[in-house]
Structure 1
């Protein structure tokens, strides 16, 4: 019981720090925001911030659930086509984020509004874009390998690689589209990206 309480408090502290950082990054810019300012906004000690997030970049990238490791787990031993597994991974991960919002009594869709702000900050900074691109590439390689298995092609053949690139690129760019600004429900837009990727793969193979 005591350990569970400590874990819950730790998670709440991390959430509060990340939210404070995002608020300040949005208001003043990523480069112009100091760790000390984030600590003050989150009402914690500066050392508490650095203990949870050793670098300022970690405030935007740590705890992101859309990880290559989590996708690799889903793809291992799969019995369904790769794109079906990836879509299920997206659906389940998005659902867990929505439940996290509900647990914190947030308004529906707030997590996606915050992720949209996060995406805008990353897009505006060269270093942040580089770090994000590395994670995107890992996802692309995983998906390309799985698609290659489905269509009996090497992972570095054009059809698997183009499909994986289109899929991850489309999911990444969702946050910057006009449709996202008009509607907080991302699921239909995610489905459109998968429809596009499936059609391209079918045409190429």
Structure 2
């Protein structure tokens, strides 16, 4: 009789444990132990899994913005520099940054968006002066420089020799999203040696400059995953 009672108690405990697992009790018991959710950019497209071997030198144009009035000239120049640096860090090609003054002299305007009607000799002028094989267009679609920070990027890697878009991305990063915040903090922690500020990783969520660097790196991750057809 005693043995039967013990078996019954053990069976009840086992069933309770199974029920607890099914209901998510284990997750609650170990809250905060597992990996935190992170943001994975998904809104991108690419023509092929390979970058053509001839794409060796890329011109990065000055960015455009959906709402120009939201950016000061200082902020715009900082983002232009960050954009060029981020493309260079992919280590896929040699990068040439085109300044707004250069573009104005060569094409009559300081900034051009990919959705605009470009001058007929636009790419020819860039090839002649820079020897570039492709061009990066970037548009800032969202810009909120106060917490929760938010930046959105629409980017295109375009052939400079013939009509064609090799890669495109359209992503918004909102620090109010838990996954974005976790990804930004991890990025800043991993790149603190380059930052040299000694700031805590969490400060990336309050710094438009540091958060901007994260958003560009994350936007270009899918381009960096391209294989090169050597």
Specify the TM-score bucket, using the shorter chain as the normaliser.
under 0.3
* Larger strand proportion of the pair: 2
* Larger helix proportion of the pair: 1
Larger Rg: 2
Relative to the length of structure 2, the TM-score reads: 0.25
Relative to the length of structure 1, the TM-score reads: 0.28
Q: Which has the higher contact order (CA 8 A, sep 6+)?
A: 2
